[in-house]
Structure 1
Amino acid sequence: MKVVGLISGGKDSIYNLYRCKEEGHEIVCLANLKPKTETETDSYMYQSVGHECIETIARVMQLPLYRRIIEGGSCQIGDKYIIDKNDEVEDLFILLKAIKEAFPNVQGVSVGAIASTYQKTRVENVCQRLELTPLCYLWDANQGELLQEMLNNKIDAITVKIACFGLKHQHVGTHLKDLQPLLIILHEKYGVHICGEGGEYETLVLNCPLYHEALKIKNVKTTVLTEDKTAPVVILCVDLEEPTIPVIQNQVTYV
């Protein structure tokens, strides 16, 4: 089926999109929810750290990108989602509705959820209303095996946020393949989620089989959100080099 990829720039959303293609689906466009500010926003639903790289990712994937600035908040935080016009979930509804109008043949939505029932339930609610099929190939996977699978399939990602006991300042900006041994140790000792599903870390994919050109980092800026000796919260803002691959027509559309 024809599929729109919900992407954050992180490993889960990008790898699920890779799995969609491996399953024979056609990726027609990408979709992203962007924070109002230039810094990370507090959201139950969306990864916002790394948002400055999303349009470049669309360019190296040579796919049109649809974006919407997040207007709503986390109003409905229960297990079940009740439609609320002020909730951030409705931003996703508006975004996917616009994409369905632009691509009437779109049938599926690629979703990188692994263990968050909160996120999966809400995406399913939106998809049901729009008569779209959510494709969640990573759901309920063994996280240790899944991370290894990602690395085996050439997902090259770095951490752009760390917020976990055992991860230190120097681990932000680290390639996942280099961080993997420590993540396994932290999982065995303290129950840390190896894929970061407990909010332990967020990532940015620099290269993968879906990219026509790897992302190249020009500069980075590190910001410490919480200074803590055992579990500091640190984010990385990434400034990318200009890709050599051209911008496609109507590359980015805001709705």
Structure 2
Amino acid sequence: MRLGALFSGGKDSCLAIYRAQASHEVVCLINLIPRSVESQLFHFPNAWITKFQAEAMELPIIQLETSDEEEMGLVDLSRALRLAARDFGIEGVVTGVVRSVYQVSRIRRICEEIGLHCLNPLWLKRAEDILNEVLEEGFVAMITGVFAYPLNERLLGKIITVDLAEELLDLSKKYGFDAAGEGGEIETTVLDGPIFKRRIEVTDYEVSYREYSGILRIKGLRLIPK
């Protein structure tokens, strides 16, 4: 089946694409950029670099700005999926949603209205399993956002490794957040992995952090042959 991937640039959407490619053909990426961090449907930090991730994957991308208001955001999602169906002949959509009933119910509703299948290969996976699979499959995921106590500025810019994954899992058990960031506690940007034909090197960035909430904004990058 020809699929379009709802793509945030983070580890979950990349892992979902990787899983989907085992039995389907992912033919395009679909990225909606919200106007503020308040969007519950679409991810915000460093959304601009998804076009370079698409280039590194050698996949076309449909990229639209979307409203912060829920109903208008759904209209924009519908428009993006219809464009993907028209331009790339997609028959379904793959998402990296793990546990958000809010997200998956709305995406499924739009897909049903258009006549598209909706695949959620990570649905209800444990945080530990997601982090382990990201590492085992060779994805290079940089932490670019932290939004929960006790996650601090030290984590911003770190690549998720076995040791860091274990640290996040230990902290999550103690403080009750999701170690894989499904609740928005952690945002990642993927720089390399098995779905990438070229890797991304970050050449410039800036960090904004205050009271256990921070973002690493990527300001410069380059694509490197593998």
3-state SS, counterpart of residue 223 of structure 2: coil
Which runs of at least 4 in structure 1 moved beyond 2 Å after TM superposition?
Answer: 239-245
Distance in 2, matches of 1:215 and 1:244, equals 6
Q: Summarize the alignment of residues 106-185 of structure 1 with structure 2, pairs less than 5 Å apart.
A: 106-177=90-161, 178-185=163-170
Return the letter of the residue paired with 2:56: V
CA RMSD for the aligned pairs?
1.4
The count of aligned residue pairs is 224
Match of 1:80 in 2: none
3-state SS, counterpart of residue 186 of structure 1: helix
Residue deviations 1:126-147 (CA, integer Å, cap 9, x gap)? 1001111111000001211221
Residue deviations 1:69-119 (CA, integer Å, cap 9, x gap)? 113513xxxxxxxxx4xx311111011011111123x11111000010000
Structure having the higher strand fraction is 2
3-state SS, counterpart of residue 67 of structure 1: strand
Match of 1:89 in 2: 74
Residue deviations 1:18-48 (CA, integer Å, cap 9, x gap)? 00012x2111111100234xxx531010111
Gaps of 5+ in 1: 75-83, 246-255
- The answer on whether the counterparts of 2:3 and 2:94 sit within 8 Å (CA) in structure 1 is yes
TM norm structure 2: 0.94
Gaps of 5+ in 2: none
Shift of 1:3: 0.6
The answer to whether 1:20 aligns with 2:20 is yes
Return the letter of the residue paired with 1:42: E
TM norm structure 1: 0.84
Structure having the higher helix fraction is 2
- The answer on whether the counterparts of 2:199 and 2:224 sit within 8 Å (CA) in structure 1 is no
Shift of 1:189: 1.2
Shift of 1:179: 2.3
Q: Summarize the alignment of residues 219-234 of structure 1 with structure 2, pairs less than 5 Å apart.
A: 219-224=204-209, 227-228=210-211, 232-234=212-214
- The answer on whether the counterparts of 1:72 and 1:91 sit within 8 Å (CA) in structure 2 is no
Residue deviations 1:41-65 (CA, integer Å, cap 9, x gap)? 3101011112121110010011111
Distance in 2, matches of 1:64 and 1:163, equals 31
Shift of 1:194: 1.5
Structure with the larger RCO, 1 or 2 (CA within 8 Å, 6+ apart):
1
Q: Which structure: larger Rg?
A: 1
Identity %: 29
